[in-house]
Structure 1
């Protein structure tokens, strides 16, 4: 889901490196295990806990954002990604009956040469919310995030991110009381594929075609260039790109790229998670990524790849297309999507604490 003054700009002037994180953070204590009457056991997650984690995540999804579910593959990534250590980066809370009721977690972004970003991923079962458990989980997550940043000890700007649904006022207040500030809003937008879809021709030498695995690396390079000046975005390294490009949801037959020879200059990549359809009440494609390399902006390549994807999804018999957009995108993406027939629905706020 993700340029302001905190993000790098290609100005040609090298800013002086900040002090190393260990100097900025000072003494960082070991995260204290939460204490709460609803939880009798706290421990790190193991792969054998996957089913319980999925069950708790589903229960939270039904309340927090009932129109979509967190993919199982994304949950399982915690145990597969080299940049996540479950023994240190996760914490599970079980009640007296052995039921999982809380999850604490952090993810340190694998790209750390320009910025160091940590994301908080905790969840509390809806049945035990409002009793202070979320406050304890958030405290542990922040303490673990600071510990992880101190261990990196890099001389780069650092930030910790928490994301909250617009209606989750409790989480927003908890984060703000811990020094997080709302920096950005992301809006979900939906487009009915039964409504006429315009055809936008690619300009110049660009050719629109379906994405295929042979274009994986060229598309990753294009994605990184396109998002280099977007708020909160860091470079996607090969391993993380493989998790996405080779995962079970990406649909190459629906996805579209614009190429110039061997180079990808624009992309609109879509995925399909049929598990969401029953909750949505319609079939859909989710557009994960839309981007144009910075030297090819202003040539109508974004609407060209988007409309090509929409036409492919319509021809495949899908009802709607869904995407998320930064409401302050430097490329004016939200205005573009509105002009292409997308309408806003839900919103998520990014709460950030910078170091």
Structure 2
């Protein structure tokens, strides 16, 4: 908590003016009918920036559907004279107001429109909207208004343009995340669960238990905030989660209540198979704090890797905080994962 409010720290933050650019025919905020326009820009950018994974249309639609997102204020589009979308960006504040107020920026410029300064104009609007979102939190007597504020944007290691633009707005690289691959043709270790632990695949009736376990496990992770029910249901009830490839560790000891104490949740998006071939993405790995240092993490990962192999997949992919205090990098390396590429997290704090 701070004595000053976010509004005082941010300063004047009115509705950001729409950008101007000589090559852009129209800048406007989004409507619910713009899911395809935003997805078209992101898909074109994905193919160049990180061809091993793409942004599913479903993910864009989910963002539009979130109750705390207002497309008319939080999402911006730029259109060429021929009416095609060439840039899209958003500023979305996380609904949690526990430890800090967090806004995430996502944006892209179509590759054939880069190098003209469109991205700088887009980012300027996103930054201004993010500051406005911070300043709008609570009133002077609301404890949330006195929380620290931060704005995050992810940039690929080779994305010098975004790093440069972010730097001009006061953002600094605070963390690196590494994408790691694991060849499933290599032997998967066979590990035995302790007597008080039962390993089971994910099932929909465990959705809330899994959310609570996730929030406990990630409470001390850098940049993490509790996952709200709405967003969690989009994830576990979406088109890509593969329950058969997921692993839950249940505490079946006396008094354990069969609660989830560790989890490995994985998804499959066949739209990403063109470059890497058939593979699964491990979205979340976690152990609740009361059950750490019992060997549960390698146990649940090994079971999920075996399930992926048995399902005919050739590779597992995950992302990890390179400075994770949990020792995740060494854990994944010991299970056969190798680093492939990195992303930086640019942060502006208030």
Q: TM-score range by the shorter chain?
A: over 0.9
Q: Deviations over 1:331-352 (max 9, x none)?
A: 0101100000001001100000
CA distance in 2, matches of 1:201, 1:155: 48
2:266 aligned residue: 270
CA distance in 2, matches of 1:18, 1:189: 42
- With normalisation by structure 2, the TM-score equals 0.95
1:209 aligned residue: 200
The structural deviation recorded for 1:47 is 2.7
User: Given that residues 18 and 157 in structure 1 are in contact (C-alpha distance below 8 angstroms), is that contact kept between their aligned partners in structure 2?
Assistant: no
2:300 aligned residue: 305
2:84 aligned residue: 99
User: Given that residues 92 and 100 in structure 1 are in contact (C-alpha distance below 8 angstroms), is that contact kept between their aligned partners in structure 2?
Assistant: yes
The structural deviation recorded for 1:49 is 2.2
1:13 aligned residue: none
**What are the equivalent positions in structure 2 for 1:211-290 lying under 5 Å apart?**
211-260=202-251, 261-280=257-276, 282-290=277-285
**What are the equivalent positions in structure 2 for 1:134-213 lying under 5 Å apart?**
134-153=119-138, 154-203=145-194, 205-213=196-204
User: Given that residues 18 and 156 in structure 1 are in contact (C-alpha distance below 8 angstroms), is that contact kept between their aligned partners in structure 2?
Assistant: no
Q: Which moved more, 1:220-229 or 1:30-39?
A: 30-39
Do the aligned partners of residues 232 and 204 (structure 1) sit closer, same or farther apart at CA in structure 2, a change above 3 Å counting?
A: farther
Q: CA RMSD in A?
A: 1.1
The structural deviation recorded for 1:50 is 2.1
2:141 aligned residue: none
CA distance in 1, matches of 2:183, 2:48: 25
User: Given that residues 286 and 321 in structure 1 are in contact (C-alpha distance below 8 angstroms), is that contact kept between their aligned partners in structure 2?
Assistant: yes
CA distance in 2, matches of 1:106, 1:204: 47
Q: Deviations over 1:46-68 (max 9, x none)?
A: 23222222221111000110111
1:44 aligned residue: 29
Structure 1 unaligned residues grouped into runs of 5+: 1-15
CA distance in 1, matches of 2:45, 2:224: 26
Q: Deviations over 1:138-189 (max 9, x none)?
A: 1100000001111113221110001101111111111012100000000000
CA distance in 2, matches of 1:230, 1:136: 33
* Structure 1 residue matching 2:136: 3-state secondary structure: helix
Do the aligned partners of residues 201 and 18 (structure 1) sit closer, same or farther apart at CA in structure 2, a change above 3 Å counting?
A: farther
CA distance in 2, matches of 1:71, 1:202: 36
User: Given that residues 36 and 57 in structure 2 are in contact (C-alpha distance below 8 angstroms), is that contact kept between their aligned partners in structure 1?
Assistant: no
1:130 aligned residue: 115
CA distance in 2, matches of 1:169, 1:233: 25
1:329 aligned residue: 324
CA distance in 2, matches of 1:47, 1:237: 22
The structural deviation recorded for 1:303 is 0.3
Aligned pair count reads 339
CA distance in 1, matches of 2:10, 2:313: 50
